[in-house]
């Protein structure tokens, strides 16, 4: 092969086309897997296109039907003529090695595509675009080639392999209910309902402003990374990086952020902060505080992070601040944009094979308890999400009299799982500790912060004090 020629193997191309002409059993598999651009020689592309048309018409592919089709389309000469087609049918004596011929052709096809992509990347880089645009262009060109090679076939169930996998999964769960437990959130009842945040799931956490969406999401990040040694990518479109770390630090150290910001920390608080800061520095929490980032940019960054460090969780704060490459002007188009964003987030979760926790705002006009219809700007959020959770804080709208009489408990919070595609819905009672911006399980109040810890036995005075401030957690209902 000349040095300036693209990779190709004409003999393999001829042999594979010959296999398809003499053996009908390999035609369906090869026509499903091959693309016209996989062939280097133009005449072979024309022949494959004609074969595909014959197969789509439910006719037998042989020398007669192939030449007839090419002639009717006016492409017989471009395909090499009748003599060349006849030679293809005679050049291969057996189709036994068709898989080897196919592998050679696909190898050269991928290499040609990579060479073309490299040329495009060089040409684009010579134009001197912004760094982000240049990197994004290069990564997308290469990734598009990889994605083409990863396309799944439409498979039946007759081999029993997939059915066996599902039954085996059920058997494992029967023996150990935690066998397929997803990413633990650190909230016992939430993990019980969801069995942890499952890989490839899009989880939407919605609430009105100021209720604690970011705090709850960061509590999950804290648990997965600081207590479970996981890797998380945090994309904060609203809050700067330093404020995210500030919340993480105070929450994990169990120190009042209000006192830290007003210079009222005690010596014991400083010790907690130093220990928490040391653990935070060693954690695998990666934060991006770009003010307007697209799903494509998030996916690009997460691909690189997963390749370098691994990845267990992606958290995005929040959906309505995101944008797409295309600009949308009207309200209707904005709804279409949000729909496109949530669809991309679901695809991202599936491709990265990690749970994606995306925060969302609710419409302000509603005063009743949040419902799925209250998700702001698009019903597509509900449609694409595997789990939709709402945070309710009754004390936020309560009067001083309601707090004093105990009809509304200060700090009480509820997570309402309104949609759960692969399991039950339900309500989980939590407690919000505002000074350290963290949620905890109701029954965990008063327990040591370090994990893992057994529940300590409280004496009668402890129980009496806790009961006065917060009632015991109710049973969790399921829909």
Catalytic residues: 238
Contact 411, 395 (CB under 8 A): yes
- Quickly count: other Cβ atoms within 10 Å of residue 206's Cβ: 27
- Quickly count: other Cβ atoms within 10 Å of residue 239's Cβ: 17
Largest CA distance in the chain: 99
Of the candidates 365, 355, 361, 392, which has an alpha carbon nearest to the alpha carbon of residue 378? 361
DSSP codes, 48-74: HHHHHHHHHTT---SHHHHHHHHHHTT
Q: Is the peptide bond before 173 cis (omega within 30 degrees of 0)?
A: no
DSSP codes, 350-378: HHHTS-EEEEEEB-TT--SS--GGGBSS-
Q: Which residue has the tokens 């068709």?
A: 98
Residue 395 DSSP code: G
- Quickly count: other Cβ atoms within 10 Å of residue 223's Cβ: 20
Three-state DSSP state, 338: helix
- Given strand 231-236, what is the order of strands in its sheet? 284-288, 231-236, 313-317, 356-361, 202-207, 387-392, 412-420, 426-433, 438-441
Angstrom distance (rounded) from CA 123 to CA 121: 5
Three-state DSSP state, 18: helix
Q: Which residues pair with 389 in a beta bridge?
A: 205, 417
Angstrom distance (rounded) from CA 435 to CA 411: 11
Locate 145 and state its tokens.
């080639």
Residues 6+ apart with CB under 8 A from 403: 395, 410
Residues 6+ apart with CB under 8 A from 148: 113
Contact 276, 266 (CB under 8 A): no
């Amino acid at each position: 092969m000349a040095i300036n020629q693209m990779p190709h193997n004409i003999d393999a191309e001829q042999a594979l086309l010959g296999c398809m002409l003499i053996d009908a059993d390999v035609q369906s598999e090869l026509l499903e897997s091959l693309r016209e651009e996989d062939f280097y020689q133009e005449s072979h592309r024309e022949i494959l296109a004609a074969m595909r048309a014959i197969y789509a018409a439910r006719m037998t592919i042989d020398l007669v039907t192939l030449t007839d089709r090419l002639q009717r389309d006016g492409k017989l000469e471009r395909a090499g003529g009748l003599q060349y087609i006849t030679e293809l049918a005679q050049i291969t004596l057996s189709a036994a090695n068709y898989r080897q011929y196919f592998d050679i052709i696909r190898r050269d096809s991928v290499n040609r595509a990579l060479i073309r992509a490299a040329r495009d990347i060089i040409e684009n880089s010579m134009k001197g675009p912004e760094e982000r645009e240049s990197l994004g262009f290069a990564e997308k060109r290469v990734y598009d080639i990889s994605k083409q090679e990863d396309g799944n076939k439409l498979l039946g169930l007759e081999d029993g392999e997939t059915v066996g996998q599902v039954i085996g999964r059920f058997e494992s769960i029967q023996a150990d209910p935690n066998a397929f437990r997803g990413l633990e959130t650190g909230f016992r009842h939430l993990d019980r309902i969801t069995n942890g945040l499952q890989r490839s799931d899009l989880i939407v956490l919605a609430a009105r402003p100021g209720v604690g969406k970011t705090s709850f999401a960061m509590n999950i990040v804290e648990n997965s990374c600081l207590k479970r040694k996981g890797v998380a990518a945090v994309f904060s479109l609203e809050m700067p990086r330093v404020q995210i770390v500030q919340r993480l630090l105070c929450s994990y150290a169990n120190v009042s952020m209000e006192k830290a910001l007003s210079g009222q920390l005690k010596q014991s608080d400083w010790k907690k902060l130093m220990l928490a800061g040391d653990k935070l520095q060693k954690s695998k929490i990666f934060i991006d505080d770009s003010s307007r980032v697209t799903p494509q940019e998030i996916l690009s960054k997460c691909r690189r992070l997963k390749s370098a460090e691994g990845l267990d969780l992606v958290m995005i704060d929040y959906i309505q601040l995101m944008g797409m490459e295309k600009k949308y002007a009207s309200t209707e188009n904005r709804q279409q944009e949000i729909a496109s964003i949530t669809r991309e987030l679901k695809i991202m979760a599936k491709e990265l094979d990690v749970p994606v926790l995306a925060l969302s705002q609710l419409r302000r006009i509603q005063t009743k308890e949040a419902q799925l219809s209250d998700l702001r700007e698009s019903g597509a959020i509900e449609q694409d999400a595997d789990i939709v959770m709402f945070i309710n804080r009754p004390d936020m709208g309560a009067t001083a009299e309601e707090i004093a009489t105990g009809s509304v408990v200060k700090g009480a919070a509820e997570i309402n799982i309104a949609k759960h595609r692969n399991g039950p819905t339900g309500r989980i009672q939590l407690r919000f500790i505002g000074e350290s911006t963290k949620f905890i399980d109701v029954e965990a109040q008063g327990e040591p912060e370090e994990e893992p810890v057994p529940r300590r036995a409280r004496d009668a005075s402890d129980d009496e004090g806790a009961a006065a401030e917060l009632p015991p957690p109710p049973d969790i209902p399921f829909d």
